[in-house]
Amino acid sequence: MKEKEPGIKKMEQGMEEKESGIKIKKMEQGMEEKEPGIKIKRMEPGMKEKEPEIKEKEPGVGWAELQEQQAYAYWLECVRGLGRKSRWELVKRAGSPKAAYGMDTEEWRMFLPEKKAEALEKEREKYSEDRLLERYQEFQKGEIRYVSSIHPDYPERLKKIPDPPFGIFLLGEMPRKEMPSVAVIGARECSEYGKYVAERAARELAERGISVISGMARGIDGISQWAAICAGGKSYAVLGSGVDVCYPAENRRLYEELKIRGGILSEYPPGTQPQAGLFPQRNRIISGLADVVLIVEARERSGTLITADMALEQGKEVYAVPGRLTDPLSRGCNRLVKQGAGVMVSIEEMMGETGLAGRTVHERGKEKGTTGICKNVYQYLDFYPKSAEQLQLESGMEYRDVVCELMELCAENQAKQVSAGQYVKQGELSSP
């Protein structure tokens, strides 16, 4: 992640040190609203928000009224100094976002701290009802959609988690209700083994009509999402920044593809910059949107394990990819297995055990094996780096012949030189 700010890096590292059993409540403090730097993007033809079908179970809510409520919810999202908890409280007490706007300041003071009531008062003075509706209309002309919790497009899955987001800012589309989904998450600093497993798992999921949810982070997250998209599947990213902020910048291509082949979601207003405190928060949305959470690689005491805890709290099935005992990147996963998480031996089995298999749309044929050339050295390659010397020892071949085959394998994408003289296996395995 080249573009990472030094400050953020520090904080993120600090985050990893946190206890994995961290309580959601504790993190609430970091939740204070961030400056809603809204970027208005010009609308392209065909970008217009499609009118959602209004469901029967919300009889009173017509399209026009929904739009109005959305505008008020959007106003609430943009009040600085107001957290998610307060927003929910306001709407719960008043009955709707619009009613919350219309409350007396005194009423606000009854259940909100003085500062928050003041912030609301200030924002109300700034935005008269007309002005407020106008601003929302202006916002709607942009590429980004806002889906509040009363909107029919608000994911059902999120309504079931403790502490659901008040609203979702969206680029692309929402995860589909009828489409099963698996969150594939893991370490940013992952190993070649992790990369391989993430890639393969995501591809197999995508091929079976399962969407892949993740956080678009460097490492496992981004790799799995990219693999899902490359396999023609759907993938959805939940960001810890505004949806218009591509973080990390190196995932720009993935970001652009996700807009078209899936969606980018965030509960933070556009323009919100990534902050360490926001990441554990968004993790609960990742696990919330998924039916099963698959953890590929995680260190002990890592952000990934926090997500695993949240997933369990939400009642989700958690699966871990087993690893070697000596590998620090597998320690988190092995720990989860010990605590009773499912062991991901194959996607097929995982799907069978979790009931995802019955819900999938289609399956595709077997993956292709190696093309037959240079199998001699290939069979000694592994997903952790081996030196050419090591391979020479193991294969009993001459050094130059080993290197020669390695170069062929590299050219054919079946091996990779990860650093000078160190090689790892790439690509497919013939199916067990």
Partner 1 sequence: MNCINFVVPMNPCPCGYYPDMERCRCTQSAIRKYQNRLSGPVLDRIDICAEVPPLTMEELEPGNGRKGPERKTSAYIRSNVLQARKMQEERGSGKFNAALTPEEVGQFCALDRQGKELMEKAFGKMKLSARAYYRILKVARTIADLDGSEKIERRHLAEAISCRAAGEGYWER
Tell me whether residue 188 or residue 282 sits nearer to partner 1 (CB atom): 188
Q: Which residue has the tokens 């989700």?
A: 316
Residue 375 within binding range of partner 1, rule CB under 8 A: no
Amino acid at 163: D
Residue 332 within binding range of partner 1, rule CB under 8 A: no
Least distance (Å) from partner 1 to the CB of residue 146?
A: 32
| Residue 183 · residue 132 · CB < 8 Å | no
Sign, Cα dihedral of 246, 250, 251, 257 = positive
Q: Which of 221, 168, 163 is nearest to 23 (CA)?
A: 163
Binding residue for partner 1 (CB under 8 A) from 189, 256, 348, 363? 189
Distance CA 265, CA 338 (A): 33
Distance CA 187, CA 341 (A): 18
Residue 335 within binding range of partner 1, rule CB under 8 A: no
Tell me whether residue 36 or residue 328 sits nearer to partner 1 (CB atom): 328
Least distance (Å) from partner 1 to the CB of residue 379?
A: 19
259 φ/ψ angles, rounded to the nearest 5 degrees: -60, -35
Tell me whether residue 215 or residue 219 sits nearer to partner 1 (CB atom): 219
Of residues 210 through 229, those in contact with partner 1 by CB under 8 A are 218-219
9 φ/ψ angles, rounded to the nearest 5 degrees: -55, -45
Tell me whether residue 360 or residue 390 sits nearer to partner 1 (CB atom): 390
Binding residue for partner 1 (CB under 8 A) from 4, 176, 259, 301? 4
Instruction: Kindly give the pairing relationship between strand 211-214 and strand 317-320.
Output: unpaired
Applying CB under 8 A, which part among 40-48, 96-104, 360-368, 406-414 lies near partner 1? 406-414
# chain residues binding partner 1, by CB under 8 A: 38
Residue 15 within binding range of partner 1, rule CB under 8 A: no
Task: For residue 298, give the 3-state DSSP assignment.
Answer: coil
Distance CA 143, CA 79 (A): 21
Task: For residue 316, give the 3-state DSSP assignment.
Answer: coil
Binding residue for partner 1 (CB under 8 A) from 44, 130, 420, 432? 420
Residue 110 within binding range of partner 1, rule CB under 8 A: no
| Residue 34 · residue 133 · CB < 8 Å | no
Residue 251 within binding range of partner 1, rule CB under 8 A: no
Residue 50 within binding range of partner 1, rule CB under 8 A: no
Binding residue for partner 1 (CB under 8 A) from 54, 150, 343, 403? 403
Least distance (Å) from partner 1 to the CB of residue 226?
A: 11
Give, as one character, the DSSP assignment of residue 51.
P
Q: How far is CA 428 from CA 110, 204, 212, 303, 423, in A?
A: 62, 12, 20, 29, 16
Of residues 269 through 328, those in contact with partner 1 by CB under 8 A are 326-328
Residue 260 within binding range of partner 1, rule CB under 8 A: no
Least distance (Å) from partner 1 to the CB of residue 403?
A: 5
Tell me whether residue 164 or residue 385 sits nearer to partner 1 (CB atom): 385
By the 10 Å C-beta count (0-12 exposed, 13-18 middle, 19+ buried), 185 is classed as buried
Beta bridge partners of 423: 386, 417
- Tell me which residues touch partner 1 (CB under 8 A): 1-2, 4, 9, 13, 188-189, 191, 218-219, 326-329, 385, 387-389, 392-393, 399-401, 403-404, 406-408, 410-411, 413, 416-422
